[in-house]
Structure 1
């Protein structure tokens, strides 16, 4: 993914491009996609949000968006409620094959969610976890995929 890095000069701000292989580019979103965001709060990583918006070429849609989306990011913390219910709700807005990412506080951070809890909720919702990695200073990203038939 490309990321703008700003620097000041006498004439104002300049933008340089650098490669960020640990950030939003790893989520698989593409230009022109509609991505809906659930669970926004004051604790989310605004730089990550901005990077996703740069990739898709538009703003993230909020929870009230009323159309089908190409992908979802779900910011989730331990005390946010029932994760299975949230995942079932998320599935109702996704186009077939849409990307689902759960963003949770990293281990040791307030609100962290155990990987086993994510796996259990995903399985109950008819999904499976496919990968997890650090996405920002305080957040991990877990991709959910659709379970194949007979599983």
Structure 2
């Protein structure tokens, strides 16, 4: 059976996030507006389900869905580090400009260093969501 265009796009989005087979990925900030095709693509790429906010094991990647109005971004970023393994990556996923809940890039740039993180890149992940790759300040790769 041929792969649907949405599934192919989700797989490409998961590849852009550099998630790979065997990685442990934790998802924070899940709500009804998340991109379900992207979620499926990530789970296909890692070969299993993502962990939720209650997970206590070390994770390689945190996907943090964040919208303007969700609360304090610094607090959310600090919380995202709780289970993050050394050399782990936080992907801050926020609605693109013009979409409800859009987060200004300056807000991310202000919050990341306060939480001990450094933004390394931002990319269009899906039609509605952008992703900002954040790493600990000691690791700016």
What's the secondary structure of 2:21's corresponding residue?
coil
1:27 maps to 2:25 = no
| 1:113 alignment counterpart | 103
| 1:13 alignment counterpart | none
- Unaligned 5+ segments in structure 2 are none
Which one of the candidate residues 36, 50, 59 is aligned to 1:46? 36
Deviation string for 1:17-58 (max 9, x for gaps)? 968785110111111111000000000000000000000000
| 1:5 alignment counterpart | 3
Per the normalisation by structure 2, the TM-score is 0.90
Cα 1:22–1:53 change in 2 (3 A) is closer
What's the secondary structure of 1:129's corresponding residue?
strand
Q: What is the Cα-based RMSD across aligned positions, in Å? A: 2.1
- Considering fraction of residues, name the structure with more strand: 1
Q: Is the 8 A contact 1:22 1:134 kept in 2?
A: no
1:59 maps to 2:57 = no
Q: Is the 8 A contact 2:10 2:41 kept in 1?
A: no
Cα 1:116–1:43 change in 2 (3 A) is same
User: 1:66 deviation in Å?
Assistant: 1.8
1:145 maps to 2:101 = no
- Considering fraction of residues, name the structure with more helix: 2
- Unaligned 5+ segments in structure 1 are 8-16
User: 1:148 deviation in Å?
Assistant: 3.3
Cα 1:105–1:6 change in 2 (3 A) is closer
Q: Which of 1 and 2 has higher RCO (CA within 8 Å, sep 6+)?
A: 2
Q: How many residues are paired up?
A: 137
Runs of 4+ in structure 1 displaced over 3 angstroms? 17-22
Looking at structure 2, the residues matched to 109 and 29 of structure 1 have their Cα atoms a distance apart, in angstroms, of 26
